[in-house]
Structure 1
């Protein structure tokens, strides 16, 4: 191809897709500017993210995907700690190996995942529908507060969402069930508690062609095998142990260690008080009605999958203590099909309402989705519950600076513990649904030189006599009490 021909081809391509490209650039700049301005502080570091960072750090240094509670000592139950799976934590460990440990690096890494997911949404939705619908889908995701609340933190929802999109593409467009299973397996191990719910949704959709059900399920299972084997290999050295599988099953049956029936009652009672649940219930109904108007089989199957998965994930949310993150992927799926659903309903209405025939329904759809995006932006900047804090970073930096050569014990705070670079750190930690990590350092024969704790803590209370007799209070820094061992 000559230079002039190539240049003409590129110019034609850009001219043909100038509006999607322009919108894509604007969305990219919006997401980048919004994210970089508060990259490490909003959302604040939280326990699940801290656990993921800790696992990545340990895999980078020791090749162990487990939580280290003292120098060279690990929990022995990494399979209960890998709620965010290796597709997220292992690549981050590679970055830590190359560039060194950094919380900022971890957040930049997740920002890359966010952009990759948005790009994948565009490419997949364009294949399902067209470029204009794809741009509107990306716009809805890029203005959705929960996309930032989850996407910026080191957890597995957004990486898993990306893999799920690829699985849907290879399933519905390419009809390659082995490749579908491969990406579905990666999604599942990226965040098991969320993407396990994909399996029954896929099963129910595939039952629409019962004669092909078993061969297709077998091919999907074959494709999922590599991701599953890798997950088991990283989780345990006893994959054939019945006790291992029993503990995993018990954990995922009730990972929140609370009364399920009480949770269901509480969440149902609070339904009308949740703007998120009301908002997505309305959008779900829009998608549901549009489902019965679409003609193409693959599009119907996509709608069926979104609808069934949304209902299953909502049921799982009801069992939880009110954790909306269990319905995040359902929310994202609803948003990506919503522009097509709105256009479908608009075209249906135009055929039956005479005065609507003077309007271009594609233009009407753009205005409606744009208005919805504006509402989401307003909510993002004014009412979104995305908490801001740099407390853990400041405390960890302070401890590393002042006590870099001391044995520092962190009492029951994963956030500070995960950010410490001190190789002599130790701690004890209680996480929901799993055994206590580590032993109380204040009850060890050899006491740590420095103790860091919140003023009110059960591990501190059980060793209050040791703390009073052997330690002196130094200061309260950023809400944490700091004690030094007496000479």
Structure 2
């Protein structure tokens, strides 16, 4: 027993930290919000046996492309809802399992790239990272997709090459894209590695990457075809993301101060250390892994700069950087003094721990849950359109209540799902209005719920 503790005490500390942060306030922190609530709504429909669909104004949108996630996320959540009944906590249990799997795979990958000591530091940096924990706990696709990506990269490090190994790697990478669409950046990363292998006249590696890429594509294509058969518009959704006035690169160019926020400064520092680490082991590192990881880091960084400025868009790059940043910091310690690298790593871990323990990374707002209780107690018999996913997901099934996505998201959806009928236009309306909206509907607001949401009465021309 003493020998086990002596050999594995760092892993035990990592496990304690992970268990604490992964399970702490599982049902309330982070607070449920629009995206994860949408995914829970779809998972609840699956669990109820109604199918893989998003209910909008009484319409059933099967395999909605707007989710940008797939069955590898939604089906496990649906299973736990089916077994335990719906609750935010039950829906998040499979997310905790995905985080555990991602952490173990990340540790093994880091160990394979460097050594056990570096892997320990890397894992500790991962499980105390607010963005990893808070994105991982909620029903979102980033961390489950990251697990599949890390597993594919880990298998790619195996020396034995065969078509079976390539097929499994392609399967993992394809499932990563199925789980979260933005992981589609793996395809150009494989392409860059393929070109490099071809130019180096490493034809066996070129063939291997060809097999991996083809399988990865074949895994994702069926989901995309199914989504397209139900509704089109994904290209327009990307256009919104990259060029609209409400998002896209113009926001970042118009507000460069966003890059001075602590979390983004931290990423820039990590990027520097990661570059040092990657360069220092480039001769010993698998060239395919080096190219794919580097391409993904660049790709996700550009994606962040071209999008809304959300850290979760940068998160995959951050996670991939960690092992190389640890190596870079340790190289600095070797050049000067070992204690320097230890102090830097402890400083980063302590800062991350403080950031997470003090709830800096995400909202603890409970008003969505409070509003759901209020509606259940006071409006059960009132026909109403609920336009807030974080509230609707907590409501009991009620034929009087219909769901509609929030106004910004609704603009991006097919009109045949979001256009209310004449009867629906005469229903009450539950929504979080901004000041302009409150002014516009001031004569029709009949109730204010938890000082955030408004209940708007039907127009006067309704009978």
Task: Tell me the TM-score range normalised by the shorter chain.
Answer: 0.7 to 0.9
Count of aligned residue pairs for this structure pair: 445
- Runs of 5+ unmatched residues, structure 1: 1-10, 351-355
How far is the alpha carbon of 1:137 from its aligned partner?
1.0
Matches within 5 A, 1:159-170: 159-170=144-155
CA distance in 1, matches of 2:291, 2:332: 17
Cα contact 2:141–2:180 (8 A) shared by 1: yes
Cα contact 2:277–2:324 (8 A) shared by 1: no
How far is the alpha carbon of 1:140 from its aligned partner?
0.1
Q: Per the alignment, in what secondary structure is the counterpart of residue 196 of structure 1?
A: helix
- C-alpha RMSD over aligned residues: 3.3
In the superposition, the TM-score normalised over structure 2's length comes to 0.84
Partner in structure 1 of residue 251 of structure 2? 263
Partner in structure 2 of residue 88 of structure 1? 73
How far is the alpha carbon of 1:288 from its aligned partner?
1.4
Partner in structure 2 of residue 4 of structure 1? none
Q: Per the alignment, in what secondary structure is the counterpart of residue 388 of structure 1?
A: coil
Per the alignment, do residues 92 and 230 of structure 1 end up closer, same or farther by CA in structure 2, a change over 3 Å counting?
A: farther
Cα contact 1:409–1:451 (8 A) shared by 2: yes
Per the alignment, do residues 231 and 290 of structure 1 end up closer, same or farther by CA in structure 2, a change over 3 Å counting?
A: same
CA distance in 1, matches of 2:84, 2:358: 36
Partner in structure 2 of residue 281 of structure 1? 268
Q: Does 1:476 find its partner at 2:461?
A: no
CA distance in 2, matches of 1:185, 1:475: 46
How far is the alpha carbon of 1:484 from its aligned partner?
8.2
CA distance in 1, matches of 2:448, 2:440: 21
Cα contact 2:69–2:141 (8 A) shared by 1: yes
How far is the alpha carbon of 1:89 from its aligned partner?
0.9
Cα contact 1:122–1:137 (8 A) shared by 2: yes
Moved more, 117-126 or 336-345: 336-345
Match 1:414 to one of 369, 375, 389: 389
Q: Is the radius of gyration larger for structure 1 or structure 2?
A: 1
CA distance in 2, matches of 1:204, 1:86: 28
In the superposition, the TM-score normalised over structure 1's length comes to 0.80
Q: Does 1:101 find its partner at 2:86?
A: yes
Cα contact 1:40–1:390 (8 A) shared by 2: no
Partner in structure 1 of residue 423 of structure 2? 444
How far is the alpha carbon of 1:451 from its aligned partner?
4.5
| 1:396-422 deviation per Cα after TM superposition (whole angstroms, max 9, x unaligned) | 233335555x35424421211122222
Q: Does 1:69 find its partner at 2:48?
A: no
- Runs of 5+ unmatched residues, structure 2: none
Match 2:354 to one of 362, 378, 388: 378
Per the alignment, do residues 290 and 345 of structure 1 end up closer, same or farther by CA in structure 2, a change over 3 Å counting?
A: farther
Cα contact 1:181–1:224 (8 A) shared by 2: yes
CA distance in 1, matches of 2:103, 2:7: 13
Partner in structure 1 of residue 195 of structure 2? 207
Cα contact 2:372–2:395 (8 A) shared by 1: yes
| 1:326-379 deviation per Cα after TM superposition (whole angstroms, max 9, x unaligned) | 1111011111332233334444x26xxxxx5xxxx4x76444423321122223
Cα contact 1:396–1:420 (8 A) shared by 2: yes
